[in-house]
Amino acid sequence: MFNLTRPKLVTLAEAEGYADVVDFLEDYAQCSVVPAICIAPDCDHTAELEPDQRAGFCEVCGRPSMKSGLVIAGMI
């Protein structure tokens, strides 16, 4: 089962202009570059990264904590 209720995933979808996480995931499921968000508790930086990114470098907090929305949802 996909995890669509994680706060970071909701934050990321809203940052991209989606009221519904499912719409966000459907639009990006087949893309080669997708929105990612920093999963550090005190940081909500977003960027466009590879769909399978799990430990991307965050330009704001400097930690390897960028995850793509598809990874956070458990789709990859």
Cβ 37 to Zn ion, closest distance in Å?
9
Nearest to Zn ion of 29, 63 (CB atom): 63
Q: Which is nearer to Zn ion, 43 or 75 (CB)?
A: 43
Residues that bind Zn ion (CB under 5 A): 38, 40, 43, 45, 58, 60-61
The minimum distance between CB 35 and Zn ion, in angstroms, equals: 14
Q: How far apart are CA 10 and CA 67, in angstroms?
A: 13
Q: Quick one: 2 or 7, whose CB is closer to Zn ion?
A: 7
Q: What are the phi and psi torsion angles at 9 (to 5°)?
A: -70, -40
Residue 16's alpha-carbon distances to 1, 19, 25, 62, 63, in angstroms, are: 23, 9, 11, 22, 22
Cβ atoms of 38 and 45 closer than 8 Å: yes
Minimal distance, residue 6 CB to Zn ion, in Å? 16
